[in-house]
């Protein structure tokens, strides 16, 4: 429908960027970016009108988001019109627009479009050999100054390379090295750097991406003051641990990127960690989780590794000092099977709360007070240590307490 609506307005519209790449790769992608030769915001409004969707317009940039009732989102951009200013280009002005828009992009594989207009509907627009690079698995920039103009693309090159198991093409690799040598990333704002870094930490192959950032000399710009080698083995295996926890039936955490961030920082000193959290504007809760891990992972690990003489309740108490986002880190650091199994059992036990609660104690005729907490804590420990096994025994335990 976008093509028909555009035609009515006298515009031309194209699907561009990541969606085209992912269609050709047969990979899933729910983000649709439209490029309009005409007024992008007007098209967004017409599209929204036709489907009962909402529009969020950014007039300064000529862009808009169309938010459909079912949660689906389409980004609409206005193709740059500078080409109108070139008299020589006038006869081809319309196709020049989308070409110009595509030329400004990061890599050839992201610089293709699909025509959505009339009889050309479905035609691939590929000015820069994106399709061939996709077939050959190459990440290639469109022009030599690409990384200088937008240093964030250094991280994006690594992200796409590792996500698809591609290679950075040799000339592009030279430009990467040159840009890193010129320290172009030092002048990027922390906000932009974090936005891209967080994308990396959310990727399935984040560990490999971080390793590649290190290989290319990008790591110190992202994790200033953190020595990569100290965390390399953990980052390498963290994804596997996250998967194992899921296979064991533990729900995934809400912010999986924080698992990687915590793992990357666990070896560092608290001041460095705190300043990175500040630099990237982590909130109080997230910063608290990072610092709690730094302070507690060693004692948790050493208790878990004790063969005898450690009560389950003691282990549980230690483990509760860590956020769930640190569990993959602990699991990765436990290198023997029996230890991993012990950790699993402990996490299962922690999920089971005793059935007696404050109301039960109140019904026994006690007035709420500090004794409640002590009694509940004691019954929790007794349950973990196997001293009470069911609700009846819990009740008896509390009454005796
Ligand atoms: N882009 C760019 N330079 C950047 C960021 C984005 O050229 N620094 C371009 C790319 O052409 C990209 C498009 O803007 O395809 C949309 O960016 P984004 O949504 O971040 O990337 P996707 O390619 O959709 O990738 P992902 O699958 O990670 O969402």
pLDDT 10s digits, 189-229: 999 999 999 999 999 999 999 999 999 999 999 999 999 99
* Ligand 1 binding pocket includes 107 (Cβ within 6 Å): no
> What pLDDT is stored for residue 80 in this prediction?
64
Q: Do the Cβ atoms of 8 and 49 come closer than 8 Å?
A: no
pLDDT 10s digits, 318-346: 899 999 999 999 999 998 999 999 999 99
Nearest to 116, CA basis, from 217, 190, 33, 213: 33
Compute the distance between CA of residue 196 and CA of residue 160 in angstroms, rounded to an integer. Answer: 12
> What pLDDT is stored for residue 82 in this prediction?
47
Q: Please tell me the residue having the least CA distance from ligand 1 atom 18.
A: 18
Question: What residues are paired with 74 via a beta bridge?
Answer: 32, 66
Q: Please tell me the residue having the least CA distance from ligand 1 atom 27.
A: 18
Tell me which of 14, 15, 16, 18 to substitute to probe ligand 1's pocket, judged by most ligand atoms within 8 Å of the beta carbon. Answer: 18
Which residues lie closer than 8 Å to 102 by C-beta, 6 or more apart?
16, 35, 111, 112, 113, 125, 127, 128
> What pLDDT is stored for residue 159 in this prediction?
98
Angle ∠(211,212,215) on CA atoms, nearest 5: 90
Nearest to 378, CA basis, from 359, 365, 364, 396: 396
Nearest to 2, CA basis, from 38, 39, 50: 50
Q: Do the Cβ atoms of 35 and 16 come closer than 8 Å?
A: yes
> What pLDDT is stored for residue 92 in this prediction?
42
pLDDT 10s digits, 230-249: 999 999 999 999 999 999 99
Tell me which of 100, 106, 142, 179 to substitute to probe ligand 1's pocket, judged by most ligand atoms within 8 Å of the beta carbon. Answer: 106
> What pLDDT is stored for residue 329 in this prediction?
98
Question: What residues are paired with 58 via a beta bridge?
Answer: 63
Percent with pLDDT over 90 in the chain:
71
> What pLDDT is stored for residue 359 in this prediction?
79
Q: pLDDT: is 389 or 11 the higher one?
A: 11
Query: In terms of DSSP bridges, do strands 167-168 and 138-139 run parallel, antiparallel, or are they unpaired?
Result: parallel
Q: Do the Cβ atoms of 33 and 111 come closer than 8 Å?
A: no
Q: pLDDT: is 352 or 98 the higher one?
A: 98
Task: Give the Å distance between the CA of 161 and the centre of ligand 1.
Answer: 14
Number of helices (H) and strands (E), helices first, in the chain?
21, 9
Task: Give the Å distance between the CA of 106 and the centre of ligand 1.
Answer: 8
The model carries a pTM of 0.88
Ligand 1 nearest atom to the CA of residue 104, by list position: 7
Compute the distance between CA of residue 355 and CA of residue 352 in angstroms, rounded to an integer. Answer: 9
Compute the distance between CA of residue 297 and CA of residue 322 in angstroms, rounded to an integer. Answer: 7
Tell me which of 17, 31, 126, 159 to substitute to probe ligand 1's pocket, judged by most ligand atoms within 8 Å of the beta carbon. Answer: 17
* Ligand 1 binding pocket includes 31 (Cβ within 6 Å): yes
* Ligand 1 binding pocket includes 18 (Cβ within 6 Å): yes
Q: Is the pLDDT of residue 288 over 80?
A: yes
Ligand 1 nearest atom to the CA of residue 153, by list position: 8
Ranges 25-34, 123-132, 172-181: which has the least confidence: 25-34
Compute the distance between CA of residue 59 and CA of residue 125 in angstroms, rounded to an integer. Answer: 27
Percent with pLDDT over 70 in the chain:
95
Buried b (16+ CB within 10 A) or exposed e, 318-350: bbeebbbbbbbbbbbbbeeeebbebbbebbebb
pLDDT 10s digits, 85-103: 444 444 444 445 899 899 9
pLDDT 10s digits, 187-198: 999 999 999 999
SS3 at position 322: coil
Q: Do the Cβ atoms of 395 and 359 come closer than 8 Å?
A: no
* Ligand 1 binding pocket includes 328 (Cβ within 6 Å): no
Tell me which of 24, 31, 149, 188 to substitute to probe ligand 1's pocket, judged by most ligand atoms within 8 Å of the beta carbon. Answer: 31
pLDDT 10s digits, 45-86: 999 999 999 999 998 888 999 999 888 899 999 986 544 444
Q: Do the Cβ atoms of 285 and 258 come closer than 8 Å?
A: no
> What pLDDT is stored for residue 81 in this prediction?
53
* Ligand 1 binding pocket includes 342 (Cβ within 6 Å): no
CA 254 to chain centroid: 11
Q: Is the pLDDT of residue 292 over 80?
A: yes
Q: pLDDT: is 143 or 363 the higher one?
A: 143
SS3 at position 34: strand
Please state, rounded to an integer, the average pLDDT across all residues of the chain.
90
Task: Give the Å distance between the CA of 173 and the centre of ligand 1.
Answer: 19
Task: Give the Å distance between the CA of 109 and the centre of ligand 1.
Answer: 10
Mean pLDDT calculated for residue range 127-134? 97
DSSP letters along 142-176, please? Answer: SSTTHHHH-THHHHHHHHHHHHHT-EE-HHHHHHH
């Amino acid at each position: 429908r976008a093509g028909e609506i555009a035609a009515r307005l006298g515009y031309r519209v194209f699907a561009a960027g990541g969606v085209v790449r992912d269609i050709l790769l047969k990979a899933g992608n729910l983000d649709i970016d439209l490029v309009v030769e005409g007024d992008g915001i007007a098209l967004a409004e017409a599209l929204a009108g036709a489907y009962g969707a909402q529009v969020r317009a950014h007039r300064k940039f000529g862009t808009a988001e169309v938010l459909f009732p079912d949660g689906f989102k389409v980004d609409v951009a206005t193709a740059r019109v500078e080409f109108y200013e070139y008299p020589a280009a006038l006869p081809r002005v319309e196709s020049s627009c989308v070409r110009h828009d595509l030329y400004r992009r990061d890599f050839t594989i992201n610089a293709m479009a699909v025509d959505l207009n009339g009889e050309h509907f479905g035609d691939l627009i590929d000015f820069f050999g994106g399709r061939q690079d996709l077939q050959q698995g190459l990440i290639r920039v469109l022009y030599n100054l690409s990384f200088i103009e937008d240093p964030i693309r250094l991280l994006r090159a690594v992200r796409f390379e590792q996500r698809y198991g591609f290679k950075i093409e040799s000339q592009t690799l030279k430009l990467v090295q040159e840009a890193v040598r010129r320290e172009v990333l030092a002048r990027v704002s922390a906000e932009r750097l974090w936005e891209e870094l967080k994308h990396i930490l959310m990727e399935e192959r984040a560990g490999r991406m971080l390793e590649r950032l290190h290989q290319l000399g990008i790591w110190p710009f992202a994790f200033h003051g953190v020595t990569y080698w100290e965390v390399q083995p953990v980052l390498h295996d963290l994804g596997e641990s996250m998967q194992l926890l899921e296979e064991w039936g533990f729900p995934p955490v809400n912010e999986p990127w924080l698992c990687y961030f915590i793992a990357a920082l666990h070896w560092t000193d608290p001041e460095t960690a705190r300043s990175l959290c500040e630099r990237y504007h982590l909130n109080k809760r997230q910063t608290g989780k990072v610092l709690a891990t730094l302070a507690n992972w060693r004692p948790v690990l050493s208790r878990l590794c004790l063969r005898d003489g450690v009560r389950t309740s003691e282990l549980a108490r230690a483990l509760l000092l860590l956020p769930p986002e640190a569990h993959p880190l602990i699991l990765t650091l436990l290198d023997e099977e029996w230890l991993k199994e012990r950790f699993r059992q402990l996490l299962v036990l922690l999920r089971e709360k005793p059935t007696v609660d404050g109301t039960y104690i109140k019904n026994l005729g006690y007035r709420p007070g500090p004794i409640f907490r002590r009694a509940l804590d004691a019954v929790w420990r007794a349950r973990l240590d196997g001293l009470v096994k069911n609700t009846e025994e819990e009740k008896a335990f509390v009454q005796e307490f």
